[in-house]
Structure 1
Amino acid sequence: MAGTVFTSTSGGVLQGFRRKGLRVTFTVGSGSLGPDATMDSVVLENHRCHATITQEGMRTGLRCELTLEGMEMAEMNRLSMLAPTITLANSTVRGLAQNSLTVEVVDNISPPELVFSGQVLESFADYGKAPEVTFQVRAQANAGLGAAQAAPLSYPQPVAAAQVVADIAARAGVRCADHGLKGTFGAGYTTHGTLLDMVERAVGAFHGAFMRDAAGTLHVWGTEAPKAGGGAPVPLLNAASGLLGYPSYTASGLQVRSLFRGDVEWWQPINVQGGGLGTPGTQGAHGLVGNASQGAAGWAGGQGAVRAPPWNGLWVPWKITHELTTEIKDGPWFTTLEAQRAEGSVNNAQ
């Protein structure tokens, strides 16, 4: 698409073109380039770029695989970083969380939209296809939480699991958002390991879920599946807002693909209105519908009653993948979601 795609307005109607781009920022930690080096940052824009950003929540969390072209050799050398490896023989291995990466979606109209922020696991220049040299980066949002052993936490009195997670987040210097984690540990509860180990243990003890978003906030949920409500708008996915093709079923629920949707969040309900198959030009409340002659097996009932497609309704994404490119002809600018039914969500089919 060479950086130009359709975008939707707040009314959900595709309207006009915008010049899309990616802004990539590397923050080089103190000491990363030598014992006397100080922290600074490198901002890259208008480069040929391919970013795959995936959010799966839990320990895997938010991660990014990035390919950049058009960088100067000095920049690539400066930002190259070996993957963290435990070895006493290799003194060139630097500590994890020294370098960080942020990726923002930018265009010529809207403010920048943050889609990734995390620690660099590895970054290196790839000369395998010279003269088309690329810079490869792999980063993860949870890497800093799992980088090193932390001092144990101990509670002499009974303590709520949500309070334990809040204390761990405070140690990590990140904000914590509790969405209903319930359960209490008995007196004498002690937890140890990395901060990520502690979060996983506290949430898992009561069969909850957790996720760290692009802004760095740690979210936790209890056993109840998320529901729509609470004042937060539910993203609508239909043809007018960028839904591509028809949803498809998978072993774990539903898969849908659309133009890039930065407003879709992990474990937060979305409203899929995919439109059914039927007589061309027949538009119902839930998309294209068939006619009465199709019978009960079609998208219309015996008396002409409209039946919604079975995938219409509320779904909760458990895996979100953004595939974004700039300065690449016909390059993707898409979001793929894998989701399960939201609790209490039923479509209108009878």
Structure 2
Amino acid sequence: MSFEKRKVSLTFQLGAGDFGAAGQDTITLDGLRCSVNVVHDGIQFARADVQVWGMSLDLMNKLTVTQKFFFEQRPYNSLRISAGGAVCFSGGIMEAWADGRQQPDVMFHVSAASGLVDLSQTIPPTSYNGAVDAGTVVLQIASQIGYGFENGGVNATLNTPYKPGSPKSQIEAICRDVDCNWTVDDVAKVVAIWPKNGARAGEAIPINVETGLVGYPAFTQGGLQFSTLYRPDIDYGRLVRVTTPFSAANGQWTVRALAHRLESNVPNGQWFTDIETSYLDSQA
């Protein structure tokens, strides 16, 4: 992979205010030295930790987010990360601040999480009289926030459901009732559900040396661990098909955790995706 392809773009959007350029609330930073770690482990939605160097003092001040911002109930700023021409993260910023302890090498740190902005909107309670398909209810909630819906095989019925609260609270309650997995994809703007012992909808993604597999998989109690060159097409809950000289590792596996490790404008910088898979629904 060439150095040119190892380019990370950071797009910030203010929840309130502007950058002073005719009301512009969005700015994209290209070509700066940065380190990015995007993690999605199923415990929470995708999270991003970013360190970037070379920003102006004015811009760092404008983008700073500390705990007092939430006490003041300010709307979330947003971050979108594109690496190698593909978006790998989109979400709300939880905190952002400058670290000048190593001057003149000043670093700006950002922590962000998906699901913070759209899934915290205020929507009416969702209710039905009688029996209704769980997927139909999740689809209705997703539609209210402008998201698509993906059902990976959940076939369950709710009886006279009444779900108040935020979109996240409502969907969580439904998936708890029918005992299924779910996630939100802020990049594709999709809410996805799938059975506990299954995977998200879609074809299995090939994992082998030709597609970027680095070394060999390691076996765990729950499945496999392996690394590939950066793969933005792989996400939590997706099905992957592994092909290696280790025959026991070959077959289909469900992604239960992944992390993108990316560095731009760093000599010999990282450009990898670390993946953990589950034996659940593994097939030869």
Structure 2 gaps, min length 5: none
Q: Does 1:71 align with 2:28?
A: no
Query: Following the alignment from structure 2 to structure 1, what is the Cα–Cα distance between the partners of residues 204 and 121?
Result: 38
Query: Following the alignment from structure 2 to structure 1, what is the Cα–Cα distance between the partners of residues 5 and 280?
Result: 35
Aligned to 1:198, the other structure's residue is in SS state helix
TM-score of the superposed pair, with normalisation by structure 1: 0.74
Q: How does 1:301-312 map to 2 (within 5 A)?
A: 309-312=247-250
Query: Following the alignment from structure 1 to structure 2, what is the Cα–Cα distance between the partners of residues 148 and 262?
Result: 27
The answer for the alignment partner of 1:126 in structure 2 is 99
> How far did residue 51 of structure 1 move?
0.6
Deviation sequence 1:90-128 (CA, Å, 0-9, x none): xxx34243x11111123xxxxx21111111111111112
More helix by share: 2
What is the count of residue pairs matched by the alignment?
282
The answer for the alignment partner of 1:292 in structure 2 is none
Structure 1 gaps, min length 5: 7-16, 88-92, 107-111, 277-308
Indicate conservation of the 8 Å contact 2:146/2:189, yes or no.
no
The answer for the alignment partner of 2:14 in structure 1 is 28
TM-score of the superposed pair, with normalisation by structure 2: 0.90
Deviation sequence 1:180-225 (CA, Å, 0-9, x none): 22211112x2112222111111012111111122222111113451
Q: Does 1:49 align with 2:22?
A: no
Indicate conservation of the 8 Å contact 1:49/1:66, yes or no.
yes
Query: Following the alignment from structure 1 to structure 2, what is the Cα–Cα distance between the partners of residues 31 and 134?
Result: 24
1:95 alignment partner AA: R
Query: Following the alignment from structure 1 to structure 2, what is the Cα–Cα distance between the partners of residues 137 and 116?
Result: 13
> How far did residue 262 of structure 1 move?
1.6
Query: Following the alignment from structure 1 to structure 2, what is the Cα–Cα distance between the partners of residues 54 and 191?
Result: 29
- Closer, same or farther in 2 for the Cα pair 1:267/1:334, shift >3 Å? same
- Closer, same or farther in 2 for the Cα pair 1:170/1:224, shift >3 Å? same
Query: Following the alignment from structure 2 to structure 1, what is the Cα–Cα distance between the partners of residues 171 and 249?
Result: 34
The answer for the alignment partner of 1:11 in structure 2 is none
> How far did residue 52 of structure 1 move?
0.5
Q: Percent identity?
A: 26
Query: Following the alignment from structure 1 to structure 2, what is the Cα–Cα distance between the partners of residues 84 and 343?
Result: 45
The answer for the alignment partner of 2:164 in structure 1 is 192
Q: Does 1:102 align with 2:80?
A: yes
What is the CA RMSD across the aligned residues, in angstroms?
2.5
Aligned to 1:340, the other structure's residue is in SS state strand
2:30 alignment partner AA: E
